Amino acid sequence: MAGLVVAMDGPSGSGKSSASRGVARALGLRYLDTGAQYRAMTWWILRQGVDLADSATIAARCGEPEIVSGTDPDSPAIHVGAVDVAGPIREDEVTSAVSAVAAVPEVRARLVALQREIIGAGDIVVEGRDIGTVVAPDAPVKIYLTASPEARAQRRSAELAGTTAEAQQAALARRDTLDSTRKTDPLSMADGAVELDTTALNLDEVIAEVLRLVKERT
């Protein structure tokens, strides 16, 4: 299984992180959360006071922050320079701004290059929106994870305090629309990807199905 790359794409809240980490653990692979990188870039852009509508400035400055991703599925780490941003990047301020920053082509070019560098010789599960289409189109295993909007919102609201499933469903729908309608590398299912609807599956069942697909395709 040396050199294996598993590409896991899908909309927000479909379970990509949980499933990817479980699969990586089971197979002794590394794990890369590319969404955390877009969030880290967004955290830095917000800290610089850059207007989110000013894509020219975002494009001009997106080469400045050093974004460092850990690849241990048991403790995925993300730093901007020396600052641990694992907590702040999950705050509402970043979540509601990240799609605008991720739509800037220069941001994507920088992060896709960083992702390819980390993927390197493989042995990794990589999750995001464009892994199977753009970042690693030759990955032997490509999964497109989905779940109904209601299930995704229910899962998200169970995870976060002080919110409702209705509020989460609206926020997820907004992000889905922005991520799947942007001009550069929108969220879409890659050629050769297997769609896995997790609405009626628990996490262990999702991981077992992905492991079965890995076995079948390698």
Ligand X SMILES: Nc1ncnc2c1ncn2[C@@H]1O[C@H](COP(=O)(O)OP(=O)(O)OP(=O)(O)O)[C@@H](O)[C@H]1O
Ligand Y SMILES: Nc1ccn([C@H]2C[C@H](O)[C@@H](COP(=O)(O)O)O2)c(=O)n1
Binders of ligand Y among residues 149 to 178 (CB under 6 A) are 175
Instruction: Give the span between the Cα atoms of 22 and 78, in whole angstroms.
Output: 19
Q: 1 or 118: whose CB is closer to ligand Y? A: 118
- Residues in contact with ligand Y, shown as a per-residue x/- string from 122 to 151 under the rule CB under 6 A: ------xxx---------------------
Give min distance, CB of 164 to ligand X, in A.
15
Which of 92, 90, 102, 89 lies closest to 52 in space, CA to CA? 102
By a kind-dependent CB cut-off of 5 to 8 A, residue 176 interacts, out of ligand Y, ligand X, none, with none
The torsion angles phi and psi of 124, rounded to 5 degrees, stand at -155, 145
Is 12 one of the annotated binding-site residues?
yes
The torsion angles phi and psi of 4, rounded to 5 degrees, stand at -65, 135
Among 34, 133, 146, 169, binds ligand Y (CB under 6 A): 34
3-state helix, strand, coil in the chain (%, to 5): 50, 15, 35
Is 183 one of the annotated binding-site residues?
no
Element (H, E) at 13: none
Binders of ligand Y among residues 99 to 118 (CB under 6 A) are 99, 102
By a kind-dependent CB cut-off of 5 to 8 A, residue 203 interacts, out of ligand Y, ligand X, none, with ligand X
Strands 5-9 and 124-128: parallel
Q: 34 or 69: whose CB is closer to ligand Y? A: 34
Q: Is 18 left (phi over 0), alpha (psi -120 to 50) or beta?
A: alpha
> Which residue stretch of 18-26, 48-56, 98-106, 117-125 sits at the interface with ligand Y (rule: CB under 6 A)?
98-106
Q: 39 or 214: whose CB is closer to ligand Y? A: 39
Q: 138 or 212: whose CB is closer to ligand Y? A: 138
Interface positions with ligand X (CB under 6 A): 10, 12-18, 35, 155-156, 159, 198, 201-203, 206
| Residue with tokens 């990955």, as numbered in its chain | 139
Kindly report each contact of residues 184-187 with a partner whose C-beta sits within 8 Å and lies 24 or more positions away, as own/partner.
184/103, 184/105, 184/108, 185/108, 185/112, 185/129, 185/130, 185/133, 185/134, 186/129, 186/130, 187/9, 187/10, 187/11, 187/129, 187/130
By a kind-dependent CB cut-off of 5 to 8 A, residue 40 interacts, out of ligand Y, ligand X, none, with none
The footprint of ligand Y (CB under 6 A) covers 12, 34-35, 38-39, 98-99, 102, 128-130, 175, 179
Residues annotated in the binding site for ATP, as ranges?
10-18
